[in-house]
């Protein structure tokens, strides 16, 4: 792709998560895999991200070589200069800059937001805007992700200095429910934003600062991670009251479905699972199931289906339905294994379900990347009953590993999982009603199909395993969006 002057369009990914070095959820996966696909599609893309605690150690551990850029980057914020060292690396062909500074020694994802915990995210955005001077490469477009980098479009629109630079920005919404909301004082004075940045049509939100709202209004274009979610957020309550703003901004909003790093998530080459398998030879999957059941302390020879979940345990994911249905799930004979951590009330609900059904339910509490691979590989059914889901990567990963998804028809789940009982067939089981009955209707159908019709089950597994979850098509759509912005 080229600009008017004939050179490739230059895009800087501004992201606070970057798999495999730092990741809170799917945003990290996307930032770690989409740039590689964009590069292949001919976009001159580079990435900037904070060097949170442990990140540079992981980079070194992965064998990626780094160099320190001669010039530091500086940002004026809160009446002092914040500087960061720029550590440059080539991550699988993508030039990546890790910013190393005292500002990034705290939490990568603070759940309690206030001036102090939000400040590193504003500083990061300003340092990203300053990066061009340190590296002698100036982006045409800044591509930002969620509230954690939403200050950047705000700065380009309303900052005393940066608003004169004329930069373009894209705001990609991975989850509108998290908005970066906190007290305006002393942020407004400390940030260098003009006073008009804080009005009901800009960043102000019930008297608070709302970074995501500001980013949506200020960005040159907005995208979100599935076509269905792009429609839902214009009317849907899961936006926590930003739907009006999104409806108003709809002419600059588009939905582009996420892809996967299909080399990383590949049952045929995955080193984290005990036995590899593929569409051509499924045998290894049974070994993975045995190993998983052993890890759970359950009978590895069971003939019953194993239902798995790998998830953040937050309201969005619908786990209250799961623990409220625990008894009914146990009665189907299936085993239910959950890997996740998050809100206490959800963890406790699952633990109680486990106590009441020790032979069929098991919670692996925590965040465990290698175990997640074993769950995807060793499960028969992947349960994802989300209340809302911007895209969802887990259902796609599970399909790659031949684990048949049971999902609610919402957001990106609706765009990727299709019910096998449709006349034209499908790759999973879906339901609409967001309650235990709805979920059990789909889950029972899946368990029965597994028990009663092994040939059909295999066909469903193969259907999912053969889906194209690469980034190729979506990278083309992002490229088209960049092109539109360069007109
Ligand atoms: P979200 O971004 O809303 O959390 P996604 O489905 O888009 O949901 O992405 C979740 C990603 O995080 C997947 O790669 C999934 O495997 C991973 N993940 C979630 N919880 C855990 C966990 N407890 N341990 C390991 N990986 C997890
Ligand atoms: C968010 C969403 C998830 C999406 C991910 C990556 O965390 O909750 O649905 O897949 O971002 O875009």
Tell me what the pLDDT averaged over the chain comes to: 96
Ligand 2 center–CA 27 separation, angstroms: 6
Domain assignment present for residue 266? The answer is no
> Which of 266, 295, 310 should be mutated for ligand 1, with most atoms under 8 A from CB?
310
Q: Are residues 360 and 444 in the same domain?
A: yes
Q: Are residues 248 and 396 in the same domain?
A: no
> Which of 33, 34, 175 should be mutated for ligand 2, with most atoms under 8 A from CB?
175
Q: Are residues 311 and 229 in the same domain?
A: no
- Tell me the ligand closest to 175's alpha carbon: 2
Ligand 1 center–CA 311 separation, angstroms: 5
Contact 332 CB / ligand 2 (< 6 Å): no
How high is the pLDDT of residue 4?
56
pLDDT over threshold 60, residue 5: no
Please identify, by atom number, the ligand 2 atom nearest to the C-alpha of residue 316: 8
Q: How many distinct structural domains can be found in the chain?
A: 2
Q: Are residues 413 and 337 in the same domain?
A: yes
Q: Over range 89-113, report the average pLDDT.
A: 95
387 pLDDT tier (thresholds 50, 70, 90): very high
For the purposes of burial, counting CB atoms within 10 Å of the CB of 452, is it exposed (0-12), middle (13-18) or buried (19 or more)? exposed
Take atom 5 of ligand 2 and give the residue whose Cα is closest. Answer: 26
Contact 340 CB / ligand 2 (< 6 Å): no
Q: Are residues 45 and 83 in the same domain?
A: yes
Q: Are residues 219 and 310 in the same domain?
A: no
Percentage of the chain lying above the pLDDT 90 cut: 96
Take atom 15 of ligand 1 and give the residue whose Cα is closest. Answer: 394
pLDDT over threshold 80, residue 238: no
**Helix, strand, or coil (residue 190):** helix
Ligand 1 center–CA 45 separation, angstroms: 25
Q: Are residues 377 and 449 in the same domain?
A: yes
- Tell me the ligand closest to 371's alpha carbon: 1
Domain assignment present for residue 267? The answer is no
Q: Are residues 406 and 427 in the same domain?
A: yes
44 pLDDT tier (thresholds 50, 70, 90): very high
Q: Which residues line ligand 1 (CB under 6 A)?
A: 25-26, 29, 310-312, 339-341, 367-369, 372, 391-394, 397
Could you identify the residue written with the tokens 């295999």? 458
How high is the pLDDT of residue 3?
60
Ligand 1 center–CA 289 separation, angstroms: 20
Domain assignment present for residue 271? The answer is no
The CATH number of whichever domain residue 351 belongs to comes to 3.40.50.2000
The DSSP string of 281-341 is --THHHHHHHHHHHHTTS-TT--S-EEEEEEEESGGG-HHHHHHTHHHHHHTT-EEEEEEE
How high is the pLDDT of residue 224?
98
Domain assignment present for residue 49? The answer is yes
**Beta carbons of 367 and 341 less than 8 angstroms apart:** yes
Domain assignment present for residue 275? The answer is no
Take atom 2 of ligand 1 and give the residue whose Cα is closest. Answer: 26
pLDDT over threshold 90, residue 237: no
CB burial readout 432-450, b (16+ within 10 A) else e: eebebebbbebbbbbbebb
pTM here?
0.96
Q: What is the pLDDT of residues 243-280, one digit of tens each?
A: 999 999 999 999 999 999 999 999 999 999 999 999 99
pLDDT over threshold 70, residue 2: no
| Calpha distance 416→426 (Å, rounded) | 10
Q: Which two tokens stand for residue 105?
A: 């020694």
111 pLDDT tier (thresholds 50, 70, 90): confident
Domain assignment present for residue 64? The answer is yes
Contact 27 CB / ligand 2 (< 6 Å): yes
Domain assignment present for residue 277? The answer is no
Contact 391 CB / ligand 2 (< 6 Å): yes
Q: What is the pLDDT of residues 394-404, one digit of tens each?
A: 999 999 999 99
**How far from 23 is each of 55, 291, 467, CA to CA, in Å?**
10, 26, 25
Q: Are residues 320 and 236 in the same domain?
A: no
Q: What is the pLDDT of residues 160-217, one digit of tens each?
A: 999 999 899 999 999 999 999 999 999 999 999 999 999 999 999 999 999 999 999 9
How high is the pLDDT of residue 6?
62
> Which of 28, 144, 172, 174 should be mutated for ligand 2, with most atoms under 8 A from CB?
174
Q: What is the pLDDT of residues 273-296, one digit of tens each?
A: 999 999 999 999 999 999 999 999
Domain assignment present for residue 342? The answer is yes
Q: Are residues 290 and 207 in the same domain?
A: no
Ligand 1 center–CA 141 separation, angstroms: 28
Contact 228 CB / ligand 2 (< 6 Å): no
- Residue 64 belongs to what domain range? 10-259+472-485
Q: Are residues 362 and 240 in the same domain?
A: no
Q: Which two tokens stand for residue 395?
A: 């259902």
Ligand 1 center–CA 26 separation, angstroms: 6
Q: Are strands 10-14 and 44-50 parallel, antiparallel or unpaired?
A: parallel
């Amino acid at each position: 792709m080229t600009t008017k002057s004939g050179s490739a369009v230059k895009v800087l990914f501004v992201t606070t998560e970057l798999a495999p070095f730092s990741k809170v959820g799917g945003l990290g996966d996307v930032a770690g895999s989409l740039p590689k696909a964009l590069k292949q599609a001919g976009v001159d893309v580079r990435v900037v991200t904070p060097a949170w605690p442990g990140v540079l150690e992981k980079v070194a551990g992965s064998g990626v070589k780094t160099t320190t850029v001669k010039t530091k980057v500086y940002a004026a914020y809160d009446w002092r200069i914040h500087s960061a060292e720029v550590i440059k690396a080539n991550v699988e062909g993508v030039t990546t800059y890790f910013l190393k500074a005292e500002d990034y020694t705290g939490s990568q994802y603070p759940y309690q937001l206030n001036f102090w915990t939000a400040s590193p995210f504003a500083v990061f955005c300003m340092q990203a805007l300053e990066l061009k001077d340190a590296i002698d490469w100036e982006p045409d477009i800044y591509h930002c992700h969620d509230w954690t980098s939403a200050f950047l479009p705000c700065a380009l629109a309303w900052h005393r200095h940066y608003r004169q630079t004329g930069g373009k920005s894209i705001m990609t919404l991975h989850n509108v429910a998290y908005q970066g909301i906190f007290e305006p004082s002393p942020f407004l004075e400390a940030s260098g934003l003009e006073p008009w940045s804080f009005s009901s049509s800009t960043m102000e939100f019930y008297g608070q600062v709302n970074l995501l709202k500001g980013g949506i209004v200020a960005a040159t274009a907005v995208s979100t991670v599935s076509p269905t979610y792009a429609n839902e957020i214009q009317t849907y309550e899961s936006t926590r009251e930003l739907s009006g703003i999104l409806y108003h901004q709809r002419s600059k909003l588009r939905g582009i479905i996420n892809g996967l790093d299909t080399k990383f998530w590949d049952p045929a080459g995955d080193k984290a699972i005990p036995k590899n398998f593929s569409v051509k030879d499924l045998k290894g999957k049974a070994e993975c199931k045995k190993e998983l059941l052993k890890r759970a302390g359950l009978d590895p020879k069971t003939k019953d289906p194993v239902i798995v979940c790998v998830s953040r345990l937050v309201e969005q994911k619908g786990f209250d339905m799961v623990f409220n249905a625990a008894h009914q799930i146990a009665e189907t004979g299936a085993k239910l294994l959950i890997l996740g951590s998050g809100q206490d009330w959800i963890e406790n609900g699952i633990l109680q379900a486990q106590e009441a059904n020790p032979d069929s339910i098991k919670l692996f509490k925590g965040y465990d990347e290698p175990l997640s691979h074993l769950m995807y590989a060793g499960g028969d059914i992947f349960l994802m009953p989300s209340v809302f889901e911007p895209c969802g990567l887990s259902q796609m990963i599970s399909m790659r590993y031949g684990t048949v998804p049971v999902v609610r028809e919402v957001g990106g789940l609706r765009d990727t999982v299709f019910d096998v009982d449709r006349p034209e067939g499908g790759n999973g089981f879906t339901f609409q009603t967001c309650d235990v009955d709805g979920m059990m209707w789909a889950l029972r159908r899946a368990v029965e199909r597994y028990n009663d019709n092994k040939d059909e089950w295999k066909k469903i597994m193969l259907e999912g395993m053969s889906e194209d979850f690469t980034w190729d098509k979506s990278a083309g759509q992002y490229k088209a969006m960049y092109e539109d912005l360069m007109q």
